[in-house]
């Protein structure tokens, strides 16, 4: 394999892995903030127990997510220095905002939340988690602004000497239409990820009839948020498809493996074709649906791969401007399928748990636990579709992937870093799973324990010889 292919594999592995943690952190932060607000307003200790239980899982996920994100950034200098040099003037602003505003907000107030249970008033403490939720969402906004620039570069002019883009309108980069729709789509997917995680873990306890006072409300909260967010995924996905058709017609054509321009274009629910993806042998199609997805009109025109290829050759010169069609085609379907599966799951789940009912069949609970894989599949395939669909470009129309790799990168160096980072991420995966399983099995605190953990204790008596020992033995508030 050549260094470029290895660097691309490495970037794909590390990013897909990192992206398992990010949506769960964003979604769980919001749901934990809601549960703590319910505790502050009602003083029902079961909401406090739920807040501490889900908050503990949030902390584990947040910590591993930060570590995987830091490791991921090293590869930009290691494997993609040409790309980093090319986009440096543009990416500096949104990435600096992400670090100075969003990450500062989420990390500072998460620290206050962890250590402030018995030091801040309940309202101030709950506000800390809301600010964490806002910080994680803002972080996603700035990162997606940089990514949207790669998909549809705006707000820049090309420097005549260096040939690199120079930022002249940060507002255009942050608020272009593609960015706003992509951000909305990703955020509702994050909420769905947190909600279905809450549903799956709650199912584990409800199947065993443990801590019903904590997990029945958690299950219902997760299901309602899953319903709203998964419908939001469908709506924002439809909006994104229409903008994608306008600014990235090749990606839309690749999503359907459509080679010729068509009006009233059909959408294939299922298709079998040749291995190169250029010929269809069997498919189940919905007439006009692809045109509606792309244009909002069942008779709208969707450009084909061959026609877009001819346009790009005139614009950019000879070359192959189509992405990997089978990969793009199937990832698009897996992404869409995962979204609709979550809509169906939320409706069925709300119906089966209506008016305090709980299903008796164990397979129902097992299915609810297995459903936690749905957002992982949807998020991962959605990201792969988004990034693979713009190939052969890293910055569409400006910079190709083949030109982005570090000029000094050798096959041996790329292979070594690939193996090392994959091994590190494998270890982190084991740590994450072990910690999550351990603290889920422990379950929530009892009501008295939870209330005792937030009580303000009097300062130690300096004349008490046991004061130092008792303070050392005090259980960490964040752990319980």
The DSSP result for 164-213, as a single string, is: -EEE--HHHHHH-HHHHHHHHHHHHHHHHHHHHHHHHHHHHHHHTT-SHH
Q: What does the pLDDT average to over 134-153?
A: 93
- What pLDDT sits at residue 461? 60
Q: Is residue 196 part of a domain?
A: yes
* Residue percentage of the chain with pLDDT more than 70: 92
- What pLDDT sits at residue 278? 64
- What pLDDT sits at residue 340? 92
- What pLDDT sits at residue 478? 46
CA distance 449 to 477: 11
Q: Where does the pLDDT of residue 471 fall: very low under 50, low under 70, confident under 90, or very high at 90 and above?
A: very low
Q: What does the pLDDT average to over 229-245?
A: 92
Q: Is residue 127 part of a domain?
A: yes
Q: Provide the token pair at 79.
A: 């494997």
Tens digits of per-residue pLDDT, 61-72?
998 888 888 777
Q: Where does the pLDDT of residue 474 fall: very low under 50, low under 70, confident under 90, or very high at 90 and above?
A: very low
Q: Which long-range contacts (CB under 8 A, 24 or more apart) does 402-407 make?
A: 402/4, 403/82, 404/80, 404/82, 404/83, 404/86, 405/3, 405/4, 405/7, 405/79, 405/80, 405/82, 405/83, 406/3, 406/7, 406/78, 406/79, 406/80, 406/81, 406/82, 407/81, 407/82
Tens digits of per-residue pLDDT, 429-468?
888 889 999 999 999 988 888 888 887 655 556 666 554 4
Pick the residue with more confidence: 384 or 472? 384
CA distance 42 to 451: 14
Number of folded domains that form the chain: 1
Q: Provide the token pair at 271.
A: 């298709």
- What pLDDT sits at residue 142? 93
CA distance 479 to 364: 31
Q: What does the pLDDT average to over 341-361?
A: 91
Q: Is residue 430 part of a domain?
A: no
Q: Is residue 58 part of a domain?
A: yes
Tens digits of per-residue pLDDT, 16-49?
888 888 999 999 999 999 999 999 999 999 999 9
**Short-list 247, 211, 234, 245, CA closest to 443:** 211
Pick the residue with more confidence: 469 or 354? 354
Q: Is residue 323 part of a domain?
A: no
Instruction: Of 358-372, 396-410, 442-456, 462-476, give the lowest mean pLDDT range.
Output: 462-476
**Short-list 214, 188, 183, CA closest to 201:** 214
- What pLDDT sits at residue 19? 86
Q: Is residue 280 part of a domain?
A: no
Examine the pLDDT at 259 and tell me if it is beyond 50.
Answer: yes
Pick the residue with more confidence: 265 or 216? 216
Please state the pTM of the whole predicted model: 0.89
* 136 close to 66: Cβ distance less than 8 angstroms: no
Pick the residue with more confidence: 106 or 278? 106
Q: Is residue 113 part of a domain?
A: yes
- What pLDDT sits at residue 275? 57
| Full domain range(s) for residue 451 | 21-243+330-381+444-455
Q: Is residue 363 part of a domain?
A: yes
């Amino acid at each position: 394999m050549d260094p470029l292919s290895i660097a691309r594999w490495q970037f794909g592995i590390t990013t897909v892995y990192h992206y398992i943690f990010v949506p769960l952190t964003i979604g769980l932060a919001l749901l934990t903030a809601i549960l703590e607000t319910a505790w502050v307003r009602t003083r029902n200790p079961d909401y406090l127990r739920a807040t501490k239980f889900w908050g503990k899982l949030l902390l584990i996920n947040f910590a591993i997510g930060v570590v995987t994100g830091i490791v991921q950034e090293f590869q930009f200098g290691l494997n993609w220095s040409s790309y980093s040099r090319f986009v440096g003037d543009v990416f500096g602003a949104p990435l600096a905002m992400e670090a100075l505003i969003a990450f500062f907000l989420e990390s500072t107030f998460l620290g206050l939340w962890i250590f402030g249970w018995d030091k801040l008033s309940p309202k101030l403490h709950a506000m800390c988690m809301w600010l964490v939720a806002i910080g994680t969402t803002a972080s996603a906004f700035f990162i997606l602004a940089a990514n949207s620039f790669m998909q549809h570069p705006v707000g820049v002019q090309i420097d005549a000497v260096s040939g690199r883009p120079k930022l002249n309108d940060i507002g255009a980069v942050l608020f272009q239409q593609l960015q706003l729709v992509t951000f909305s789509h990703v955020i509702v997917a994050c909420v769905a990820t947190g909600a279905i995680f809450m549903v799956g873990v709650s199912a584990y306890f409800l199947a065993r009839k443990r801590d019903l006072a904590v997990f029945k409300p958690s299950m219902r909260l997760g299901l309602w948020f899953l319903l709203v967010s998964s419908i939001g995924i469908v709506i924002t996905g439809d909006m994104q498809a229409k903008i994608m058709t306008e600014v990235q017609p090749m990606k839309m054509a690749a999503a359907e493996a459509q080679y010729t321009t068509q009006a009233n274009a059909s959408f294939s629910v299922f298709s079998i074709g040749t291995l190169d993806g250029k010929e269809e042998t069997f498919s189940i199609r919905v007439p006009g649906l692809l045109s509606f997805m792309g244009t909002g009109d069942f008779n709208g025109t969707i450009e084909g791969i061959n026609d877009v290829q001819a346009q790009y050759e005139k614009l950019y010169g000879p070359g192959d401007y189509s992405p990997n069609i089978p990969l793009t085609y199937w990832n698009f379907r897996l992404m869409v399928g995962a979204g609709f599966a979550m809509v169906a799951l939320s409706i069925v789940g709300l119906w089966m748990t209506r008016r305090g009912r709980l299903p008796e069949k164990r397979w129902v609970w097992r299915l609810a636990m297995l459903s936690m894989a749905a957002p992982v599949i949807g998020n991962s395939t959605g990201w792969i579709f988004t990034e693979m669909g713009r190939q052969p470009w890293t910055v569409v129309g400006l910079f190709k992937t083949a030109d982005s790799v570090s000029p000094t990168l050798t096959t041996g160096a790329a292979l070594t870093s690939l193996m090392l980072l994959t091994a590190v991420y494998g270890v982190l995966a084991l740590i994450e799973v072990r910690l999550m399983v351990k603290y889920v099995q422990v379950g929530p605190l009892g009501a008295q324990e939870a209330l005792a953990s937030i009580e303000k204790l009097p300062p130690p008596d300096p004349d008490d010889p046991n004061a130092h020992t008792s303070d050392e033995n005090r259980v960490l508030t964040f752990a319980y």
